[in-house]
Amino acid sequence: MTNEVRLLRFLAQDMTQAELGKRVGLTRQTIAAIEQGRYSPSLDVAFRIAHLFGKRVDEVFHWQPGGDQGMETASSDAG
């Protein structure tokens, strides 16, 4: 899964990772992991991030078939 979080932060007056994290309830490290594509957030967090930037979820996060292999996800803890 790829995303536009870094770009959207830049467009939002270069919002810091810490500030974004604070507003959506994540740590700065997790925002960095999302931007680098090392972590796929839960649906709830994805909606919160999209809502914060005034976008739809599919405008912020892009899913590609087979693209999540080897990636850490919020739901991988549920099993």
Which residues in this chain contact another protein in the complex, by CB under 8 A? Answer: 21-22, 25-27, 29-30, 33, 38-39, 41-42, 45, 70-74, 76-77
Minimum distance of another protein from residue 42's CB (angstroms): 6
Minimum distance of another protein from residue 79's CB (angstroms): 9
- Measured distance CA(18)–CA(1) in Å, rounded: 22
11 vs 61, which CB is nearer to another protein? 61
Q: What is the DSSP string of 19-61?
A: HHHHHHT--HHHHHHHHTTSEEPPHHHHHHHHHHTT--HHHHE
What are the residues whose beta carbons fall under 8 Å from the beta carbon of 4, sequence distance 6 or more?
59, 60, 61, 62
2 vs 11, which CB is nearer to another protein? 2
11 vs 67, which CB is nearer to another protein? 67
